[in-house]
């Protein structure tokens, strides 16, 4: 595999590798997403005791954000399809920038195909997330607002929320790694360096950021508050997949 081909495929490869490797790391060290799954379960457990439109408003705000990004992905896909019909003009524009690179028609078309693949994957991730959040809203609305809601039912509803969040994060990562596809037009090595930098930034945000520390602190405070109390329905902690279990080591 030549360097130009590796540089072209690097954003897609890094994106797929990140989505495969990080869940394995989360089994040993909880990420920000894992910690937030605990809060999602607490949200559902508390929603079962409320009789107000508050939870519907929160769910609507989440779905609005996902819908916006899904619509943006469609526009980007259409833009790339339009560029496919203007490859000679694109190559002339790139050559006029004097970037000290020689572009072939095949290289440009292959790179556009990689860009298209990234945004198509982002679109499917966002639309799947939107569908799962829609299911979550229905399941949340079907809860009886009393203390009879079982922990198993709350587990199922919180897992649906966690699934929607996981696919939303997948779509966001596709956007992040797509930045490296733009760097390809400048240098063959720049997209690889950009992918490495993007991976480091994402890993820092998930495992070492101030948001991670703050969310972990909130989870610990909530767990301590529950000690000595009779556990309310569904206020037990959850594992990484959203099912009941002991809290991860924070």
- Whether the pLDDT of residue 249 is over 70: the answer is no
- Using CA atoms, how far apart are residues 204 and 186, in angstroms rounded to an integer? 27
**pLDDT tens by residue, 8-49:** 999 999 999 999 999 999 999 999 999 999 899 989 988 888
- Using CA atoms, how far apart are residues 154 and 231, in angstroms rounded to an integer? 14
Q: Per-residue DSSP letters for 124-158? A: HHHHHHHHHHHHHHHHHHTS-SSTT--HHHHHHHH
Q: What share of the chain is helix, strand, coil (3-state, %, to 5)?
A: 75, 0, 25
* Total-model pTM: 0.83
**pLDDT tens by residue, 49-99:** 887 778 888 888 899 999 999 999 999 999 999 998 888 888 888 777 756
* Average pLDDT value for residue range 183-192: 87
Would you place residue 243 in the very low, low, confident or very high pLDDT band (cuts 50, 70, 90)?
very low
* Average pLDDT value for residue range 207-221: 90
CB contact set of 248 (below 8 Å; sequence gap of 6+): 30, 34, 35, 239, 240
* Average pLDDT value for residue range 139-166: 87
Would you place residue 199 in the very low, low, confident or very high pLDDT band (cuts 50, 70, 90)?
very high
- Using CA atoms, how far apart are residues 76 and 50, in angstroms rounded to an integer? 41
Distance, C-alpha 218 to centroid of its chain: 22
> Which of 159-163, 175-179, 246-250 is the least confident region?
246-250
**Cα-based angle 165, 169, 172 (whole degrees, multiple of 5):** 140
Residue 233, pLDDT score: 47
- Whether the pLDDT of residue 112 is over 60: the answer is yes
Residue 186, pLDDT score: 84
Would you place residue 146 in the very low, low, confident or very high pLDDT band (cuts 50, 70, 90)?
low
Reading the block at residue 106, the tokens are 């095949």
Residue 85, pLDDT score: 86
- Specify which residues 238 forms β-bridges with: 244
Residue 203, pLDDT score: 95
- Using CA atoms, how far apart are residues 16 and 187, in angstroms rounded to an integer? 22
- DSSP-derived secondary structure letter, 117: H
End-to-end CA distance of the chain: 42
Mean of pLDDT over the chain: 85
């Amino acid at each position: 595999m030549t360097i130009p081909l590796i540089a072209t495929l690097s954003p897609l490869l890094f994106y797929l590798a990140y989505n495969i490797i990080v869940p394995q790391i989360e089994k040993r060290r909880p990420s920000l997403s894992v910690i937030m799954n605990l809060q999602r379960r607490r949200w559902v457990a508390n929603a079962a005791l409320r009789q107000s439109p508050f939870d519907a408003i929160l769910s609507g705000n989440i779905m609005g954000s996902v819908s916006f990004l899904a619509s943006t992905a469609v526009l980007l896909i259409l833009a790339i399809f339009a560029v496919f019909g203007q490859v000679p003009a694109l190559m002339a524009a790139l050559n006029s920038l004097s970037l000290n690179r020689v572009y072939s028609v095949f290289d440009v078309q292959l790179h556009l195909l990689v860009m298209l693949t990234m945004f198509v994957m982002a679109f499917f991730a966002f639309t799947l997330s939107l569908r799962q959040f829609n299911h979550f809203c229905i399941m949340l609305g079907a809860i009886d607002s009393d203390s009879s809601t079982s922990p198993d039912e709350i587990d199922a509803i919180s897992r649906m929320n966690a699934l929607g969040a996981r696919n939303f994060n997948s779509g966001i990562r596709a956007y992040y790694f797509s930045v490296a596809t733009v760097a390809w037009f400048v240098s063959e090595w720049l997209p690889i360096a950009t992918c490495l930098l993007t991976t480091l930034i994402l890993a820092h945000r998930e495992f070492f950021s101030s948001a991670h520390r703050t969310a972990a602190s909130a989870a610990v405070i909530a767990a301590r508050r529950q000690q000595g109390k009779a556990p309310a329905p569904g206020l037990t902690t959850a594992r990484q997949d959203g099912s009941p279990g002991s809290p991860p080591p924070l």
